Amino acid sequence: MSIEQLAETAQAMVAAGKGIIAIDESNNTIAKRFEAVGIPNSEENRRAYREMLLTTPGLNEHISGAILYDETIRQSTRAGVPFTKLMRDNGIIPGIKVDKGPQPLAGFPGEVVTEGLDGLRDRLKEYYGLGARFAKWRAVIHIGEDIPSGSCIEANSHALARYAALCQEQGLVPMVEPEVLMDGSHDIETCYEVTEVVLRSLFDALYQQSVMLEGTILKASMVVPGKDCEEQASIDEVAESTLMCLKTTVPAILPGIVFLSGGQSDADATAHLDAMNRMGPQPWPLSFSYGRAMQSAALKLWAQDLVGNVARAQQIVHARARDNGLAALGQWTGGA
């Protein structure tokens, strides 16, 4: 696929007022979410849940793409329509999570590096054949005493860049996600400093690996204090700090930035995105790629009646998509 086609896909992913829904939880992660609301973690329940999300009426008004898990990209609706076909028919771009998750970084206690590069070229080829047009790889950066180390940041940036180069070779837009975790008692200034170093390292690595930024999307964490920090920040403070950090580190040629919710409340994730877009115009479209912040309320309702509550759960999904779509335009009014 040419760089023009990759750039076209990337631009479509961040079309005005649209964002990405992340439904790429591994089977272990979805097991925890299901357990919390009392749903047995069977393949059929996972399939039915993803079908409920993807068949939400009007989803494509605010959602440009969805990140799927390996199991999900191979599944179909009850009526036998492959999820990827259903998505394409509704103008939603199929994406796929391809990393194998974080593992302890040898020699660096308390730090992790994301694995999954082995055999990735062949997996990407298969996913492209299954209909995926973008992929996602998440690196995890912890803030703590004397961490993150430079070695941890470098190892994760290098892996993200190798993954991105392989994606583009196979015709997939790479979504690069260096998540600086909210866990901890650090203040917003510390988060800013770490995020800045991480993003500088990432874009340096992407350049070293000849990744074409015009066909790449950044999935960024916001600059927020740790959840155990005594002094929490205002909506505007988070928006201003995040924007300043991005403008200092992210090249303007990038087609767009989508944010992860990273454990923020649904309302906070939307309010922060809205505030940033109200401070615009920015060098790139700023949108969302939310998982929990798009799904948690709908999952709770659906759990009460897996058949009878589908339509009501979908109304919640649509409302969350609409709110975040408005926030991506800086037009959210805070109404539920």
- For the annotated catalytic residues, the residue numbers are 177, 219
Nearest to 276 by CA among 211, 213, 329: 329
Nearest to 117 by CA among 193, 209, 46, 181: 209
- In sign, the C-alpha dihedral spanning 202, 229, 297, 31 is positive
Nearest to 260 by CA among 242, 284, 233: 242
Report the C-alpha gap between 199 and 202 in whole angstroms.
Answer: 5
28: left (phi over 0), alpha (psi -120 to 50) or beta: alpha
Report the C-alpha gap between 3 and 1 in whole angstroms.
Answer: 7
Element holding 150 (H helix, E strand) = helix 150-169
Kind of pairing between the strands at 134-141 and 19-22 = unpaired
Between vectors from CA 261 to CA 263 and to CA 177, what angle results, nearest 5°? 110
327: left (phi over 0), alpha (psi -120 to 50) or beta: alpha
- Count CB neighbours of 145 within 10 A: 7
Report the C-alpha gap between 265 and 296 in whole angstroms.
Answer: 10
* Amino acid symbol at 217: I
Report the C-alpha gap between 88 and 10 in whole angstroms.
Answer: 15
Please name every residue paired with 76 in a beta bridge, in sequence order, or none if there are none. Answer: 82
